[in-house]
Amino acid sequence: MKACVLERPAPIETNPLKFTEIREPDLAAGEILIRVNCCAVCRTDLHVVEGELPPRKSPVIPGHQVVGVVERAGKNARRFLQGSRVGVAWLHHVDGICAYCLRGQENLCDHPSFTGYTDDGGYAEYISAPEDFVYSIPEIFSDEQAAPLLCAGIIGFRSLRLSEIKSGERLGFYGFGAAAHIAIQVARHWDVQVYASTRDARHQRLALDLGAHWAGGTLAEPPEKLDAAIIFAPAGEIVPAALKALRKGGRLVLGGIHMSQIPPLDYGLLYQERVIRSVANNTRQDGEDFLRVAAEIPVRTRVQIFPLSEANQALNSLKNDAIPGAAVLQVKS
């Protein structure tokens, strides 16, 4: 099969992904083989490719927002019929027996594996995945529309949940890429007012197009105090600015898997019961709940399509803020 393989992490400008021919994946018990139609590109893929996340499997195929069709089932796998359209997301597998799994927090599992990081992902013609961690894709979405829902969408949704935002409240978004452009559609559906802070003028325009109440530069102060805010950009220097924008008792959620160093904080920014918390991965329940809500709204993702062979270029564009919405690799020709 054709695949984009990472031998060792390197700056994306050096085109570290090699488009090449390799063997199709083997199937373990409980797994299914999926013929990939498309795979959306996530900032986490960039962190894997450039080595901000330490290598866990080498070589590795990145990609964890995979939409495809079930080709065949391994031993004991009977959840999906051949030909069913399915999605594979970041959470590849959990042990199911650790204290976190047992208390319903499988996103924090002590022995997790992750698609496109500890296991091969979807920048390839085929992918294998445990059937219990695979999603059915609602019919209303095309393959390309659906792919960014699987991480940008699900993680944005978990971030919204952790922000505890309620109808009629004010919510700040810092960074306005793939996750924020989906989360704003859910927030508007819940009648939440969105304030978008992002450095790129095109992203500010996209936010206003999608119903943001206000859009401004990353460190610009929103005109009103916010009930909660979510930082999607991987930049720690945003944290003090976002705290400053919160009302007393406001919640700040950090939505990324990686963030540059957070500068020293004046305690006055945190005092008055403001809260900072991170988001780590997602549970399968988050994924099921989000896909149902996304189909009800229905969420419309803005996508820019690249052929699989141009994965390096897609990641390069993402790094340079040149993608309004989400980049999607077209795999099936």
Task: Write out the residues near Zn ion by the rule CB under 5 A.
Answer: 42, 44, 94-95, 98, 101, 109, 151
CB of 324 to Zn ion, least distance (A): 18
Q: 108: buried, middle or exposed (CB in 10 Å: 19+, 13-18, 0-12)?
A: middle
Residue (93 or 274) nearer to Zn ion, CB: 93
Task: Please tell me the distance from the alpha carbon of residue 147 to that of residue 68, in angstroms, as a whole number.
Answer: 9
Of 226 and 323, CB closest to Zn ion: 323
Please, what is the minimum distance in Å from the beta carbon of residue 105 to Zn ion? 9
Instruction: Give the containing element (helix H, strand E) for 168.
Output: none
- Residue pair 327/304 in contact by the 8 Å Cβ criterion: yes
Q: What are the backbone dihedrals phi and psi of residue 183, each rounded to the nearest 5 degrees, phi first?
A: -60, -35
Nearest distance, CB of residue 109 and Zn ion, angstroms: 3
Minimum CB distance to Zn ion smaller for 108 or for 295? 108
Closest to Zn ion by CB, 44 vs 163, is: 44
Cβ distance to Zn ion smaller for residue 66 or 252: 66
The CA-atom distances, in angstroms, between 91 and each of 64, 140, 180, 269 are: 8, 24, 20, 34
Nearer to Zn ion, 98 or 322 (CB): 98
- Shortest approach of Zn ion to residue 94 CB, angstroms? 5
Q: Looking at beta carbons only, is 98 or 275 nearer to Zn ion?
A: 98
| Min dist. Cβ of residue 234 to Zn ion (A) | 12
Give the tokens for residue 155.
Answer: 């993680």
The nearest distance, CB 259 to Zn ion, in angstroms, is 14
Paired tokens of 28: 């373990």
Q: Is 82 exposed, middle or buried (0-12, 13-18, 19+ CB in 10 A)?
A: exposed
> Could you give the residue ranges of the DSSP H alpha helices within the chain?
43-50, 99-102, 143-146, 152-163, 178-189, 201-209, 238-245, 267-270, 284-296, 311-319
Length of the chain measured in residues: 333
β partners of residue 66: 39, 88
Least distance to Zn ion, CB of residue 101, Å: 3
